Structure 1
Amino acid sequence: MPHTLLLVDDEEKVLEFMEPFLRQEGYRTVTAMTGTDALAKAKEHGPAVVVLDWMLPEMSGIDVCRELRKWSRAGIIMVTARAEEADKVIGLEVGADDYMTKPFSLRELSARIRSVLRRLEGHDREASPEDPPLQRGGLTISEAQCRVWRGGKEIPLTPTEYKLLLTLAARPGIVYSRLQLLQSAQEDDYLNDERTVDAHISRIRRKIEDDPASPAYIQTVYGFGYRFGGRQ
């Protein structure tokens, strides 16, 4: 079965630019031109990846992303004309997996979609009894199921968040640079904006830490990157 993509943009010409190419790439495509329609189409079709414009009528792409993350594990690629780093961080902090700035090439879009799909497929693979979970203090991390629990309660993580946490937790005390973490989570060398890691780490901390402002699990090593710390 081909993967379903939900393409969301309020400009018809942009959808006409993306849709034929992505269909030729073997995807099934569904389109929406407003935020509310995007949410309705996402519930109806269960897309694997949502390519989501920031500026939409009725509700913004940021609000759509925030709502999707309440119930969907679809990969989300934010697309916008806004190139400022602060805007990129906002998109990632509300749950986007990747961020593209207009104008972009169709080949780059296709590569980003493949990267997100690889992460999703790794995130959803079957459990294996030969792959015991990691125990890190109050955290249980199942590499077989790509799931995380804290105190018996499952923590909902995006594929990117899960890969970052697993990379750090697998080798406690080892300091990873932002670039190393980005390559671990994203797989593609061209996705080289290291500051996106900070946004993902911030989201993970809000989910697993008692006090995200004073983290016990994921610690910052100033001038270098991050390490998995206490509660061992």
Structure 2
Amino acid sequence: MAHKILIVDDDHSICEILAYNLRSEGFEVCSAHSAEEALITLSIPFDLILLDVMMGEMSGYKMAETLRARRDATPIIFLTAKDTENDMLTGFSVGGDDYIAKPFSIKEVVARVRAVLRRASGGAEERLVSSHQIVCGELQINPETKEVFVAGKPVQLTKTEMELLVLLVRSSDRVLSRSEIIDKVWSETPYITERTVDVHITRLRKKLGVCAPMLTNRSGYGYRFNPSSVCD
């Protein structure tokens, strides 16, 4: 069965171009020209949303927040003319799964759509996690149930964040370069830059709160999970 994609963009020409090319790749496609229209359209399930950031009254970021507040986990790829680290961080922090800056190539969009859909199936995560619970001070990770607790309180992580955290924990004996992290966590996702790693680490640190210092950075080298930063 073909995956169903919802394109949300107030630029009709972009919707038409994306819809034509995605249908040519075998996807089912619907379009909405505002966030408000999209929220109504999403009364039926979709497999992925291509979401423009800058739109009329409700922005793409606000729409994503609304969906996540409803516990709607439909993967979201943001489309935006902005390409700064703050914009990327905002996109990921409101629940986005990927971020494509305009202007973009159709080839890139199709590749990223396929990669996010593969990741949504859970395959990559299952390769990285095992059934052994990890406990370090206030941090508790249960890879089997995909749960993380800090000081006994649950922390909601995305699949990518879980993969990233478990990878760093299981490699705590050394520093992982950004390229190594990309190869492990984003192996099936093209066009990922080292800045994407930095953005996800920033978001992960924010969620880990008092355990954030465990994620250390070696300037010029990469990242390491260092339990001695917090753990006794």
Length-normalised TM-score, structure 2: 0.82
The answer as to 2:44 corresponding to 1:62 is: no
Q: After superposition, give the CA deviation of every residue in 1:57-92 in whole Å (9 maximum; x if it has no partner).
A: 111112222333332322221111223444334323
Equivalent residue, structure 1, for 2:45: 46
SS in 2 for 1:2: coil
Q: 1:81 to 1:39 in 2, by over 3 A?
A: same
One-letter identity of the residue aligned with 2:56: P
Q: 2:226 aligns with which of 195, 211, 229?
A: 229
Give the superposed CA RMSD.
Answer: 2.7
Equivalent residue, structure 2, for 1:219: 216
Unaligned runs of 5+ in 2: none
User: What is the aligned length?
Assistant: 225
Q: 1:124 to 1:40 in 2, by over 3 A?
A: farther
Q: 1:122 to 1:83 in 2, by over 3 A?
A: same
CA distance in 2, matches of 1:209, 1:150: 8
Equivalent residue, structure 2, for 1:102: 102
Q: 1:180 to 1:167 in 2, by over 3 A?
A: same
Q: CA deviation at 1:151?
A: 4.7
Q: 1:106 to 1:195 in 2, by over 3 A?
A: same
CA distance in 2, matches of 1:41, 1:217: 42
Q: After superposition, give the CA deviation of every residue in 1:139-183 in whole Å (9 maximum; x if it has no partner).
A: 333434444334554322122212111111122242112222223
The answer as to 2:169 corresponding to 1:169 is: yes
Equivalent residue, structure 1, for 2:19: 19
Q: After superposition, give the CA deviation of every residue in 1:23-80 in whole Å (9 maximum; x if it has no partner).
A: 33333323221122223333x1333321111111111112222333332322221111
Q: 1:39 to 1:78 in 2, by over 3 A?
A: same
One-letter identity of the residue aligned with 2:66: E
Equivalent residue, structure 2, for 1:31: 31
Q: CA deviation at 1:123?
A: 6.5
One-letter identity of the residue aligned with 1:105: S
Q: CA deviation at 1:220?
A: 2.1
Length-normalised TM-score, structure 1: 0.82
Q: 1:9 to 1:91 in 2, by over 3 A?
A: same
Contact 1:8–1:31 (8 Å) recurs in 2 = yes
Contact 1:168–1:174 (8 Å) recurs in 2 = no
CA distance in 1, matches of 2:118, 2:214: 27
